[in-house]
């Protein structure tokens, strides 16, 4: 039995899930949940708690936050059957008079702000609504506005009606600040522009220098040029359409989105976004419900979350996460959320469950939708006001699992004789080993082994995957670089 010097188990940030499990490169993680990579340090994502009071009715489909002219935060939420506004204290039903509920699985809202006014469009009713924060009353149809499939407000404060007047390729906009004048003339700036595209207009977003407009097939760029044409809209990317009306996020001068078979980024031009988990994502996404994909930017962490329905799930159940800070990498979590918005107008991100709960995220260490918490100065309370005990809370697994490692190209048996943990506080985590003889064999799991000190262990196999899992009841922790005493078991 030939001894090998202790080696560092160094893993690059991010997950790799391309092809088979056996094809995961050495020194990479293959799977995990609710963990983040901060350089060479691995740490848990924070949990969630009760956020905004009240419960939405209907199937949540869109969330948006902004501030009014006095700097007060507001949020809007669209479900298949209603429209809501929240001022941080009270949830108000502002569903327009005459609104007809759409299909619970298909209808979508798009929401933006026109200054402090809320502007919203529901593709089932095909109307564009507005609502004055603090003014009371329900949302109302913008006078003279056309039917539309979605809406976006440009940097120059023109509301764009996408899919206007029953034409899925028509863009219409009013006379600038005069949002009730939609009939084009030589004396105003209202216009209608018919795009030449094989796709159907989906959504738009403000970016540096103009407005991006996505279709199901391609993207277009709208640039303000003044009278007489007002806007020039030209195609800027082909076969890079978007899968859903909320499947994008903007960061500074960039835009990220999910296409039919790829991720994309706009940096003045469209190009594919390399993704080390794309094979797994697009193989397992529920194609029937992919129009529900929605994205969120988490600026504090430098992440873009692509929430998507996986497998048989009919609502978004998982998220592919792109971290754009160096070293760029991809991550993945299991988390069922229908919509949400990033921190900004409110000091924390809000994500909405299918049951209509508007949860505060990136806070505390609770990971159960069944245990919603209230924050106070002395700690955390259950919704009934009683103290919350971490030890008794339901904990979702927070873990990282490596790809398989082997010696002699898999021809010899590998024996891990000892593991030397590296944690900020020893004992925060547990270690498991998933072993097999051949790639087609089922795995046998050994563990848990408490990572409080050196772990004396003898686990022989041709292929071994190591899992590091948060111990029950642990709040925050940091995982550094583990080391292992590895031997080749020549007796076999």
pLDDT in tens, 26-60: 889 999 999 999 888 899 999 999 999 999 999 99
Work out whether the CA dihedral 153, 199, 259, 232 comes out positive or negative: negative
Do 158 and 14 fall within a single domain?
no
Q: Which is it for the CA torsion 309, 206, 345, 305, positive or negative? A: positive
- What span, in angstroms and rounded, lies between the C-alpha atoms of 245 and 34? 26
Question: Residues 6, 67: one domain?
Answer: no
Ramachandran region, residue 301 (left: φ > 0; alpha: ψ -120 to 50; beta: rest): alpha
pLDDT of residue 418: 78
With H, G, I as helix, E, B as strand and everything else as coil, classify residue 288: helix
Residues 7 and 113 in one domain: no
Instruction: Tell me, yes or no, whether 11 and 151 share the same domain.
Output: no
Q: Return d(Cα 192, Cα 233) in angstroms, integer.
A: 11
Q: What is the pLDDT of residues 232-252, one digit of tens each?
A: 999 999 999 999 999 999 998
What confidence category does residue 492 fall into, taking pLDDT thresholds of 50, 70 and 90?
very low
Domain finish residue from 248, 277, 306: 277
Q: The domain that contains 247 carries what CATH number?
A: 2.130.10.10
Residue 378 lies in a domain: no
210 and 169 together in one domain: yes
Classify strands 254-258 and 248-251 as parallel, antiparallel or unpaired: antiparallel
Give the Cα-Cα-Cα angle 478, 481, 485 (nearest 5 degrees): 135
- 137 and 14, same structural domain? no
> Last residue of a domain, which of 277, 310, 343?
277
The average pLDDT across 334-341 equals 97
Q: Which region among 12-21, 271-280, 433-442 has the lowest average model confidence (pLDDT)?
A: 433-442
Spatial strand order of the sheet with 159-162 comes to 150-153, 159-162, 170-173, 191-194
- Interior/surface letters 39-71, b for 16+ CB within 10 angstroms, e for the rest: eeebebbbbbbbbbebebebbbbbbbbbebeee
Evaluate if residue 360 carries a pLDDT over 80. yes
β-pairing verdict for 263-266 and 270-272: antiparallel
pLDDT-derived band at 1, boundaries 50, 70, 90: very low
Look up tokens 């003889």; give the residue.
437
Q: Retrieve residue 67's tokens.
A: 């501030």
- Please check whether residues 96 and 236 belong to one and the same domain: yes
Residue 426: per-residue pLDDT? 73
Return mean pLDDT, the chain: 89
Has residue 413 got a pLDDT over 70?
Answer: no
319 pLDDT exceeds 80?
A: yes
The answer as to whether 249 is a domain residue is yes
Q: Are residues 259 and 135 in the same domain?
A: yes
Q: Provide the domain count of the chain.
A: 2
Residue 462 domain boundaries: 2-20+402-488
> Pick from 245, 277, 309: which residue ends a domain?
277
Decide which of 17 and 371 is more confident.
17
Task: Indicate if the pLDDT at residue 221 is higher than 80.
Answer: yes
Q: Which of 437, 392, 384 is nearest to 410 (CA)?
A: 437
Place of tokens 């989105």: 257
| pLDDT tens digits, one per residue of 261-306 | 999 999 999 999 999 999 999 999 999 999 999 999 999 999 999 9
Check whether residue 9 and residue 109 sit in a common domain.
Answer: no
Could you tell me if 118 and 13 lie in one domain?
A: no
Please report where in the chains the tokens 């004992």 appear, as a residue.
Answer: 427
Binned at pLDDT 50, 70 and 90, residue 385 comes out as: low
pLDDT at 167 over 50: yes
pLDDT value at residue 408: 52
- Does any domain span residue 137? yes
Structure tokens at 103: 């299909």
HEC letters along 330-364 = EEEEECCCCEEECCCCCCCCEEECCCCEEEEECCC
Strand partners, 237: 219
Q: Is the pLDDT of residue 389 over 90?
A: no
Please give the helix or strand (H or E) that residue 192 lies within, else none.
strand 191-194
pLDDT, residue 407, reads: 55
* Cβ 220 vs Cβ 270: under 8 Å: no
Query: Tell me, what's the pLDDT at 121?
Result: 98
Give the separation between CA 222 and CA 160, rounded to whole angstroms.
Answer: 10
Length of the chain as a residue count: 492
On whether residue 97 sits in a domain, the answer given is: yes
**123 assigned to some structural domain:** yes
How confident is residue 163, by pLDDT bands cut at 50, 70 and 90? very high
Q: What is the mean pLDDT of residues 329-333?
A: 97
User: Residue 394: pLDDT above 60?
Assistant: no
List, as one string, the DSSP characters of 67-98.
E-TTS-EEEEEEESS-EEEE-SS-EEE-PPTT
Q: Note the pLDDT of residue 383.
A: 66
Domain co-membership, 14 together with 121? no
Least Cα distance to 132 among 143, 122, 119, 144 occurs for 119
Q: What contacts 77, CB < 8 A, 6 or more positions away?
A: 56, 60, 62, 63, 64, 83, 84, 85, 86, 339, 352, 358
Asked if residue 120 and residue 10 are part of one domain, the reply reads no
Model's pTM, two decimal places?
0.93
DSSP assignments along 437-477, one per residue? SSTTSPPEEEEEEETTS-EEEEEEESEEEEEEEEPTT--S-
Residue 213: strand pairing partners:
204, 220
Strands (E), 154-217: 159-162, 170-173, 191-194, 201-207, 210-215
């Amino acid at each position: 039995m030939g001894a090998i010097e202790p080696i560092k188990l160094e893993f690059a940030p991010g997950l790799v899930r391309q092809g088979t499990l056996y094809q995961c490169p050495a020194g990479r993680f293959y799977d995990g949940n609710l963990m983040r990579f901060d350089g060479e340090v691995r740490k848990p994502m924070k949990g969630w708690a009760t956020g905004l009071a009240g419960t939405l009715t209907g199937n949540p489909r869109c969330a948006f936050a902004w501030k009014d002219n006095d700097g007060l935060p507001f949020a809007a939420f669209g479900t298949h059957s209603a429209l809501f506004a929240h001022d941080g204290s009270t949830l108000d039903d502002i569903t327009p008079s005459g609104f007809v509920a759409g299909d619970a699985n298909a209808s979508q809202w798009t929401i933006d702000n026109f200054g402090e006014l809320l502007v919203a469009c529901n593709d089932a009713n095909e109307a564009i609504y507005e609502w004055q924060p603090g003014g009371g009353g329900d949302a109302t149809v913008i006078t003279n506005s056309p039917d539309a499939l979605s809406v976006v407000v440009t940097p120059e404060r023109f509301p764009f009606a996408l899919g206007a007047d029953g034409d899925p390729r028509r863009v219409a906009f009013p006379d600038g600040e005069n949002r009730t004048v939609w009939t084009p003339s030589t004396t105003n700036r209202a216009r209608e522009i018919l795009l030449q595209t094989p796709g159907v207009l989906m959504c738009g977003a403000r970016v540096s220098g103009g407005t991006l407009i996505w279709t199901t097939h391609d993207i277009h760029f709208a640039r303000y040029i003044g009278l007489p044409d007002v806007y020039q809209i030209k195609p800027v990317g082909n076969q890079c359409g978007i899968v859903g009306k909320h499947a994008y996020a903007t960061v500074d001068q960039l835009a990220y989105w999910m296409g039919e078979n790829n991720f994309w980024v706009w940096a003045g031009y469209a190009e594919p976004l390399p993704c080390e988990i794309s094979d797994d994502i697009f193989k397992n996404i529920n194609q029937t419900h992919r129009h529900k994909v929605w994205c969120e930017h988490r600026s504090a962490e430098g992440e873009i979350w692509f929430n998507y329905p996986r497998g048989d799930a009919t609502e978004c159940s998982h998220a592919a996460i792109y971290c754009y800070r160096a070293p760029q990498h991809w991550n993945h979590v299991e988390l069922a959320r229908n919509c949400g918005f990033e921190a900004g107008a409110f000091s924390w991100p809000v994500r909405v469950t299918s049951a209509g709960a508007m949860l505060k995220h990136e806070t505390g260490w609770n990971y159960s939708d069944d245990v919603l918490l209230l924050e106070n100065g002395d700690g955390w309370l259950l919704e009934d006001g009683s103290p919350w005990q971490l030890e008794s809370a339901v904990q979702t697994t927070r873990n990282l699992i490596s790809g398989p490692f082997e010696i002699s190209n898999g021809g010899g048996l590998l024996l891990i004789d000892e593991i030397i943990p590296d944690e900020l506080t020893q004992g925060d985590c547990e270690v498991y080993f998933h072993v097999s003889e051949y790639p087609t064999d089922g795995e046998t799991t050994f563990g848990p082994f408490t990572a409080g000190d050196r772990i004396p262990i003898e686990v022989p196999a041709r292929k071994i995957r190591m899992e590091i899992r948060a111990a029950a009841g642990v709040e925050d922790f940091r995982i550094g670089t583990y080391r292992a005493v590895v031997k080749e078991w020549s007796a076999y």
